[in-house]
């Protein structure tokens, strides 16, 4: 298989200087503000984005090194298959977060509900459109047996290399 390479299109800035003790999902980062600085060469692509209330950020988990096929996720005490979790240490360390877009000033996006470590390389931005992902009969696997309260969970060092 051919190698795949991505070029960051910007940088995400947040109040979190390290993964430890930060929220594990955007729902736990309600009210946390940050900025997405898009490289000037990509600024033209931001046209019309200001009319969306939420955006999807795709980013490189640059602090994540290595991976295991079984992990103990933050919301459980049992080992689970990596692909049945949202654990950060993955074969392709790509993160995804839906955040609220407050405003755009030139090449800077002001966002809230940010659960991303400062300095994270941005790979892509997409508008969040609920109708595009609406599904019936959604099952949430092993999480259905849990009282999911991701708001209160904070990252620890379990996924450090």
Tell whether 76 is covered by a domain: yes
pLDDT for position 128: 93
Regarding predicted confidence, which is higher, 78 or 37? Answer: 37
Parallel, antiparallel, or unpaired: how do β-strands 54-60 and 120-127 relate?
antiparallel
Residues spanned by the domain of 117: 29-145
- pLDDT single digits (tens) 56-87: 999 999 998 899 999 988 777 889 899 988 88
Asked whether residue 157 is assigned to any structural domain, the reply reads no
In a domain, 109, yes or no: yes
Rounded Cα distance between 106 and 111, Å, is 14
Residue 158: pLDDT band with limits 50, 70, 90: low
SS3 of 159, please?
A: coil
Nearest Cα neighbor of 33 from 114, 99, 125 is 114
């Amino acid at each position: 298989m051919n190698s795949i390479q991505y070029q960051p299109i910007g940088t995400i800035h947040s109040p979190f200087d390290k993964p430890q003790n930060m929220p594990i999902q955007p729902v736990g980062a309600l009210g946390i503000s940050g900025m997405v600085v898009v490289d000037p060469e990509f600024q033209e692509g931001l046209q019309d984005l200001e009319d969306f209330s939420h955006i999807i950020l795709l980013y490189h988990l640059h602090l994540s090194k290595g991976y295991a096929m079984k992990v103990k996720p933050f919301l459980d005490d049992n080992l689970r298959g990596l692909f049945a979790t949202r654990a950060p240490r993955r074969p392709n360390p790509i993160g995804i977060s839906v955040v609220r877009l407050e405003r755009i000033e030139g090449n800077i996006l002001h966002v809230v509900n940010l659960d991303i470590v400062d300095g994270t390389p941005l790979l892509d931005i997409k508008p969040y459109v609920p109708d595009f992902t609406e599904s019936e009969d959604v099952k949430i696997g092993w999480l259905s047996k849990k009282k999911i309260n991701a708001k209160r969970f904070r990252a620890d060092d379990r996924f450090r290399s």
